[in-house]
Structure 1
Amino acid sequence: MREIQIEKALNKAVYGMGGLSLKFISPGFDGVPDRLVLLPDKKFAFIELKAPNKKMRPLQVKRKTQLEVLGFPVYCIDRMEQIGGILNEIRTT
């Protein structure tokens, strides 16, 4: 399983829920999460995608912490099985 396959499955699931899965790029500010997921009713989260059993780099962990300190939810997905649960968590919080 490759990261791109997980990313495609996430995008499909988000669009199926009526949401958007936007590629998040921040020039000059490396290490930001891969996707900004926007769901109906003002629900959102940042998502970092990884191949199975791969870990976030130290800079990515730092960015995750920075965003969480500001109150933004950040998730890391490295398995297809996580997608439904995480989207449900985003939708219900």
Structure 2
Amino acid sequence: MLEKEIERKFKKALEAKGCLVYKFASPNCRGVPDRIVITDTGKVLFVELKTEKGVLSKLQKIQIEKLRAFGQKVFVLYGLQEVEEFVNNIDDWR
């Protein structure tokens, strides 16, 4: 499954659970996670989506560590199965 398809399913499933899901694009800061998820209780989660065989770039690893150093929740999900598990467990992050 293509990353684009995984992103579409991710967004649709989380919106159905009452979350806001934004595509994170930062032209002057490459390597940031793909998506920002805001739960209905105001929690902000950063999510990088990959195919099952996807690999984080060095820059993505650096950006993820920066966000975590600032106390942010950052997830890297590989493939549709991990997306489904994340969506099913979103209540843990509300």
Normalising by structure 2, report the TM-score.
Answer: 0.89
Residue equivalent to 1:22: 22
| 1:10 Cα deviation from its structure 2 partner | 0.3
How many residue pairs end up in the alignment?
Answer: 93
How far, CA to CA, are the matches of 1:60 and 1:76 in structure 2? 10
SS at match of 1:81: helix
Residues in 2 aligned to 1:90 and 1:69: alpha-carbon distance in whole angstroms: 22
Q: Cα offset for 1:89?
A: 4.5
Give the percent of matched residue pairs that are identical in Structure 1 and Structure 2: 32
Q: Secondary structure at the match of 1:47?
A: strand
Q: Which amino acid aligns with 2:8?
A: K
Change (3 A) 1:60 1:11: same
The code of the aligned residue for 2:38 comes to: L
Distance 1:52 1:88 in 2: 18
> Is the 8 Å Cα contact of residues 2 and 52 (structure 1) preserved in structure 2?
no
Structure 1 residue matching 2:54: 3-state secondary structure:
coil
Q: CA deviation at 1:67?
A: 0.2
Under a length normalisation based on structure 1, what TM-score does the superposition of the two structures give?
0.90
Give me the whole-angstrom Cα distance separating, in 2, the residues matched to 1:55 and 1:81. 16
CA RMSD of aligned residues (A): 1.4
Whether 1:13 aligns to 2:17 is: no
Asked if the contact 1:44/1:90 (under 8 Å) is kept, the reply is no
Gaps of at least 5 residues in structure 2 are: none
Question: 2:31 matched to which residue of 1?
Answer: 31
Question: Secondary structure at 1:52's aligned position in 2?
Answer: coil
Q: Which residue identity lines up with residue 63 of structure 2 in the other structure?
A: R
Q: Secondary structure of the residue that 2:80 maps to in structure 1?
A: coil
